[in-house]
Chain A
Amino acid sequence: MSSDATGGPDSDTATRIKALESLLLEKGLIETSAIEELIDMFENRLGPWNGAKVVARAWTDPGFKEALLRDGTETIAEMGFEALQGEDMVVVENSAEVHNIVVCTLCSCYPWAVLGLPPVWYKSAPYRARAARDPRAVLREFGTEIGADTEVRVWDSNAELRYLVLPERPAGTEALDAAALAELVTRDSMIGVSLVAPP
């Protein structure tokens, strides 16, 4: 048995998936090339660097930001990232008034196109159980304190909508261009569990 926190490795599980994969190969249902392509895509091509580009462009291009908040799916698609069907994108903007945080309480829905696969903590029982009910305590576990005057708004990703948090641009970054700004944007800030720190 392996723990929810680490996700393996488990020799029995490793044996079972190996057996299932070889059975499916033998039956002509999958080819090795599909497995190779998927591993390469999720290990190397999809990741939070895509989301960071979206955020940095929104910070530097008001027209893009307006379009992004109005129609996340179309606007992000125009940036040309690979993505899977079923990912209607909704971009939610942090401000002095509202801090957004995303959870999938029922499973692990997450915006793969812009963030890649979710970290273990996002899929874990404690995050799924607590983020909706006590988001401020969860945020504190990530070292994030949100003032009492700011509304904390939880988005439960229970349907075929995928949320990307547009974090606040940190002070002191006026001189930076989009490429430099993208370097500052973390995965966690786009899930809403942390803020973007100044350089």
Chain B
Amino acid sequence: MNSLHDMAGMDGMGPIPIEENEPVFHADWEKQVHSVTRALMGRKHFNTDEFRHSMERIEASRYLQLSYYERWLEGITTLLLEKGVITQQEFDTRSADQGGGTKPAADREMVRNMYKIAGSVRLRLDVAPRFKAGDRIVARNISPPGHTRLPRYIRGKRGVVEHDHGVFHFPDTRVAGQGDQPQHMYTVGFVAREVWGEEAPANDSLRITLWDDYMVPA
């Protein structure tokens, strides 16, 4: 969706808030929001793509007003209500009317295991790639109403495939309830002038990851 989260290239956001000796968290409630979110994801109450989409759906007028972890809290609350993990009544009254369903509780052991299985989410599936390194491509010009990882600034731009990373799930369909639609994912290079115009330095460039469904041959 073309919401405010897709902000690359925009002006008017102010100076970069650089903080010396910044703590990992700025308040206890931030620790709680972060940890509750990770714990719920560990038990697969929602996945990364759904979580991102829940924050992309925050109204633009509020998106910038909310701090980072306030957006997280808003996102997980939306998902827990939508998925029926909690009810509005329970949230309003701060009191559980029913049990949590069939998923086991997230506990210390689950967290330790979550971080033991680190590594790739590449899918070991035999799917033919539609592109190879060296291919000239155009990023598709699409405006899907749901979740996508194809930012506006790269749509319609011409680039060159540099590396095939293998097969991954496709975020757009995964959030839309249309399955993983496994496909190849590539690093694609663009010269800065192609993306941002002639005032960009001639030498500079950008790399972004594109799935098969985000590209057509140039």
Q: Which residues of A contact B (CB under 8 A)?
A: 1-10, 13-14, 16-24, 26-31, 33-39, 41-43, 47, 73, 77, 81-88, 90, 103, 105-108, 113, 116-117, 119-121, 123-136, 138, 141-142, 148-156, 158-161
Contacts and interface: CB of A to CB of B under 8 A. Distances in A.
Given A27-B99, A159-B168, A132 B13 contact: no
Given A2-B70, A29-B106, A106-B6, A37 B112 contact: yes
B111 interface: yes
B24 interface: yes
Mostly helix, strand, loop or mixed at chain A's interface?
mixed
B136 interface: no
B117 A16 contact: no
Interface of B: 5-11, 13-19, 22, 24-36, 38-40, 42-43, 45, 48, 52, 55, 64-70, 73, 76-77, 80, 85-86, 90-91, 94-96, 98-100, 103, 105-108, 110-112, 114-122, 149-151, 153-154, 165, 168, 185, 187, 192, 195-196, 200-201, 203-209, 211
B34 to A, nearest CB: 7
* For the complex of A and B, 8 pairs with smallest distance between CB atoms: A83-B118, A159-B209, A5-B17, A27-B100, A105-B8, A33-B108, A38-B35, A9-B27
Contact of B203 (A73, A103, A150): A150
Contacts of B110: 34
A3 to B, nearest CB: 7
A39 B67 contact: no
B115 to A, nearest CB: 4
15 contacts: A13-B69, A19-B91, A27-B86, A28-B99, A34-B35, A38-B34, A73-B120, A83-B115, A83-B119, A85-B118, A85-B121, A86-B121, A107-B55, A113-B118, A151-B205
A121 B18 contact: yes
Nearest to A163: B207
B206 A154 contact: yes
B68 A120 contact: yes
Nearest to A103: B8
Given A7-B30, A14-B27, A85 B103 contact: no
Contact of B95 (A26, A77, A85, A119): A26
Given A119-B22, A120-B22, A129-B9, A156 B38 contact: no
Contacts, number: 294
Given A84-B114, A85-B114, A132-B153, A152 B67 contact: no
B103 to A, nearest CB: 7
A119 B105 contact: no
Given A26-B96, A31-B108, A153-B205, 5 more contacts: A18-B29, A31-B105, A120-B22, A120-B68, A129-B9
Contacts of B115: 41, 82-84
A9 B29 contact: yes
Contact of B34 (A5, A42, A161): A42
A151 B204 CA distance: 5
Contact of B149 (A26, A31, A158): A158
A173 to B, nearest CB: 24
A77 to B, nearest CB: 6
Given A28-B105, A38-B39, A4 B17 contact: yes
A33 B33 CA distance: 15
Contact of A133 (B9, B32, B117): B9
B10 to A, nearest CB: 4
Contacts of B187: 90, 161
